[in-house]
Amino acid sequence: MGVFVFLPLVLPLTAWPVARLAEHHLHPRMATWLLTGASAVLAVCSTLSLALLMVVGTAQLPGNPLPDGWSDPEVREAVPYDEVAGRIAIPALILVVASCARAAWRHRRVHRRAGRALEGLPATSVVVLPDASPYAYALPGRKSRARVLATSRARVLTKARGRVRGNVRARVRGKVRATGRATGGARDRVVVTTAMLATLTGPERRALFAHERAHLTARHHRFLLTVQLAARANPFLRPLRTAVTYTTERWADEEAATSVGSRRIVARAVGKAALISRGAPSVTLAGFAVIGPVPRRVAALLGPAPAARSWPSLFTGAGLAAWGAAAGTAASALSSANSAVTLFVILKAATPL
């Protein structure tokens, strides 16, 4: 263990350069995956390090629930520890767990409230609300239920094609459609208000819908929730959270530009929506106009499409930053794993069965 147990707490700093450069030098899809993966691994490793510091540093405190063998002098000599760091790790770990639980609970609460607000409306993929406030956002459904439902529909129709004709087939299709309406809450939906639609032209509306569908198809809410939890676990990961908020929007922008066939139309729609929109109901639900990165998004859309490379060259600034972040993430994982295994082996030998 030793100093290695402290490394995962500060190694997220190695990802700051790539968080800065990935926004401009990597394809948004790749940048999103890279930053989210690094955030998740670094957050888990730093939380594990806090837990190890707490266990090792408080083993000799009176009233602790650990076995007596864990505080033997031989064990204390074999495992370097710091009682001050151990005491500090207790409230820090409690704060991390509470903060992450609160963020996850808030995400679930907002998602449920948004779903309840649409109850009673037709189970269509696009929901237009009569609201004077202009906003649009992607509301993901329960993917597992939707996937099961789609599979059951396909099986029913396949059997129906082989066995029935005419009116019987029509009745089967009618039952499938009725099932879809009954469980409409399980599907992905794009929510937009009449005020937002009134602001945009026909091509701009198509850009808006293509943008939000891209959010739903790529499950961007999962990326946003992951980096949100990671930033709660370690404040050094906040720049990565900000970067992923931008790259997910850029990813959806590029998909919308490909769908519509005009980057300028998407840029114009994003700019218009940003001037009047109030955004999504939660940071983990992707909205059409996130106020902060809008000028950069418009500028990127007015330029050439980004090159879809698998990995940046090492001889570029973005490549060096990406490899630096990968090395820092790997070092964090190895340090926390080494500390955990070392502690386990020593304490297992010192603890009687």
User: 40: Cβ–Cβ under 8 A, 6 or more apart, which residues?
Assistant: 226, 230
pLDDT in the model for residue 225 = 93
Q: How far apart are CA 20 and CA 13, in angstroms?
A: 12
Domain range list for the chain:
2-141+188-350, 142-187
Q: How far apart are CA 22 and CA 317, in angstroms?
A: 10
pLDDT per position as a tens digit, 239-284: 999 999 999 999 999 999 999 999 999 999 988 888 877 665 566 6
Residues of the chain with pLDDT under 70: 1-3, 57-83, 142-186, 278-284, 287, 289-292, 309-310, 346-347, 349-353
Burial annotation 270-305 (CB, 10 A radius, 16+ → b, else e): bbbbbeebebbbbbbbbbbbbeebbeebbebbeeee
User: 148: Cβ–Cβ under 8 A, 6 or more apart, which residues?
Assistant: none
pLDDT in the model for residue 116 = 83
pLDDT in the model for residue 61 = 59
pLDDT in the model for residue 97 = 94
pLDDT in the model for residue 47 = 93
Please state the pTM of the whole predicted model: 0.79
Share of the chain above pLDDT 90, in %: 28
Q: How far apart are CA 245 and CA 209, in angstroms?
A: 19
Residue closest to 235 by CA, chosen among 106, 99, 332 = 99
pLDDT in the model for residue 79 = 58
Q: Which residues pair with 193 in a beta bridge?
A: 129
Residue 27 Cα distances to 89, 117, 256, 291, 337, angstroms: 38, 36, 15, 21, 32
